[in-house]
Amino acid sequence: MRFTHTLVLRAVASAAAIMATAPFAPASPAEPFDSSRYMAPSEIRPGMKGYGRTVMSGTRIDTFQFEVISVMSNAFYAKQDVILIRCSGLRLEHSGIIGGMSGSPCYVTDEQGRERMIGAVAYGWSFNKDPICGVQPVTQMLDIINVRDPSRSGGLDRDRPQQVKAASGGSIDLGELLARVWAKPIDKSSRFSVFNEDIARLAQPARKPAEFAGLTPLTTPVMISGGGHPEVMSFLREIFGRFSMEPVASGGPSASLREEAENVKLEPGSVLCVPLITGDITADALGTCTVVEGDRVLGFGHSLDGKGSTRLPLATGMVHTVVPSVMRSNKLGASLKTVGTLWGDESSGIFGVTGEVPEMVPVEVNIEDRRGKNTYRYQVVQDESMTAELVAAAVLETIYAHSDLPREHTISYTLETEFKDLGRYRTKNVTSQSGAFGVAMAAMLPTMTMLNSPFGETQVKQVSVDVKVDETAKAAEIDDVQLARQVFKPGETVEARVRWMHYRNSPTYTEDSYSLKLPDDLPDGQYTLTVGSSRVHLAALRAEKPHLFRAENLSQLLARLNQVTAEPDNRLFLRLGLPKGGLAIKETELPDLPSFMAHIYSKASRSDIQAYREALVAHYELPFAAQGGKALNITVSRRADQ
């Protein structure tokens, strides 16, 4: 089956830095760049010829030739220039401009015989017939260092604390989140699909590049090794597509190249990678290094995801080959060794410092299926925009590593996500006939919620997932609920006869009885008895006690997540709404308030004061994942037998 995954996230810039030991020539107001090495767009003329540096195979840097066509001012981005060039050599006449060439430095020789860099390959067209591209002027790239250099910019936190950075104000309603998560089934052809592919919109939409007919920044290829299943690639395509990145099925470096990785250095024209996932899956954003000054590195000539301040791994890399395409050719390659940290990510390029490398999030997925028990290990980047989705991708690839799921399947899973200085999120569930995305979304939900809350910053310490796949369908839907009678005395037990319709099972229909004992002091009156799944229970609980679904700080948010996802799908609930309740001030419930006090509180203009109602609840464990629900009316009367 084919799934569509739509994800939107807030890109909240995270700040961090390391001590810089190698000097970088400080910019001066009179000369913002070294004019003996770099050439400004104002000096460039049509017809100038030069050469560029890039890797087409292995780690060897090759050269191509170019001729300047024109310099466009105010091109694509406001107050920025783009240099148009026509390239030749390295079979570019056949392949066109290649994905992965982004950042390839371009040089010309000036009238004084000095070889000077003009910029980096950065822009192109789709389906263009000639190898014409746009060059990002190096003078625009050098400006990034003044803003993003952790040793020189006062805007970055040089010693990013590992503890939580708290913020005050705002709140999150997890009920709204879950309502969107459960809004629709994945497999629209099956009434038994129980988890939504479309995660809740937790924040403002992420930046997605518009599609233009003209010049655009080159799409960054993300080399995927070990994650080639069509569903995983489709999932990754939607993740990376929001940032003008394109997943490309590739493979890791050969054994001989891995042995030589220590000798591969970043230099103008070498492969520059940003590893987003490492381990049993690798995902490497691949481009080219433009400038190296001491331990400072500039590359790509355009943004990765355009966040400004960032903290991602920086690595050397290699190229297997170039695959020509009518639409846009791509390099196939992989990272070799992580050598530093990416600190800046702007429209004119990316900036990093070699040396200290950033922490990544360890993810362990244990799976038991027809092939036995296996363990897969991954490391994913610590990033508000991508961590949650990449964890989900790792879970998906683990499940799909050897084959699709059986047509009839039941998945049991436990998930634990630990957040630094906050505690753990834990959940356990059973799903059936809902595919692998139910597990993937469960893995994504806590991380996405915590990393994109309005309450400040936190970090994921580790994620562990245990998955068991059975080749049988254990799913049923409530077909009907019957009561032997509708009138009861207080203290009596209500017996509900539930008719289940089972998915591809024999018999298709079964019936079971479930009971709920009424309180001895239950007042006479009309009541609604609801019989339903855990989803029905949580929806009713939210309506009765909305304060249990609201969070106002990170610790409370984590507690709420644990609470509202604690009920597994293989559980049936009988619920009877009661006529008593009260007012809740934040988390504190105030039952049986005197009427005048309740009136005073209810008139207070405070959003943290909410009315609530009580309910009588009983639950039963089921040997299958349940769906559906039904509400029935009953009458409670002390004179029921008269």
pLDDT of residue 267: 97
Confidence grade of residue 586 (pLDDT, cut at 50, 70, 90): confident
Average pLDDT, the chain: 84
pLDDT of residue 226: 84
| pLDDT (average), residues 555-568 | 91
pLDDT of residue 213: 57
Take residue 188 and report the two structure tokens written for it: 């629209």
| pLDDT (average), residues 372-384 | 95
- pLDDT tens digits, one per residue of 481-504: 999 999 999 999 999 999 999 998
| pLDDT (average), residues 82-102 | 95
CB 384 within 8 A of CB 447: no
What SS3 class is residue 368?
A: strand
Lowest-confidence segment of 28-32, 38-42, 356-360, 422-426 by average pLDDT: 28-32
The yes-or-no verdict on residue 162 having pLDDT over 70 is no
Give residues with Cβ within 8 angstroms of 478, minimum separation 6. 498, 499, 500, 501, 531, 532, 533, 626, 627, 628, 629, 630
Whole-number percent of the chain with pLDDT over 70: 83
- pLDDT tens digits, one per residue of 170-224: 677 776 666 655 543 333 333 333 333 333 333 334 444 444 557 889 999 999 9
Lowest-confidence segment of 200-209, 593-602, 604-613 by average pLDDT: 200-209
Parse the chain into domains and list their residue ranges: 1-155+217-357, 362-470, 475-636
Lowest-confidence segment of 173-182, 456-465, 566-575 by average pLDDT: 173-182
Least Cα distance to 285 among 298, 300, 269 occurs for 300
Residue 478: φ, ψ to 5°? -65, 120
> pTM for the complete prediction?
0.84
Q: Find the distance separating the first CA and the last CA of the chain, reported in whole Å.
A: 59
Q: What is the four-CA torsion angle of 137, 140, 143, 148, rounded to 10 degrees?
A: -90
pLDDT of residue 325: 84
**Could you tell me which residue, 332 or 199, shows the higher pLDDT?**
332
The yes-or-no verdict on residue 2 having pLDDT over 50 is no
Confidence grade of residue 555 (pLDDT, cut at 50, 70, 90): very high
Confidence grade of residue 603 (pLDDT, cut at 50, 70, 90): low
In this structure, CATH architecture of domain 362-470: Roll (3.10)
pLDDT of residue 326: 79
What is the number of other CB atoms lying within 10 angstroms of the CB of residue 316? 24
- pLDDT tens digits, one per residue of 272-318: 999 999 999 999 999 999 999 999 999 999 999 888 899 999 999 99
Q: Does domain 1-155+217-357 have CATH number 2.40.30.10?
A: no
Confidence grade of residue 606 (pLDDT, cut at 50, 70, 90): low
pLDDT of residue 607: 67
> Distance between CA atoms of 85 and 71, rounded to whole angstroms?
9
Confidence grade of residue 147 (pLDDT, cut at 50, 70, 90): confident
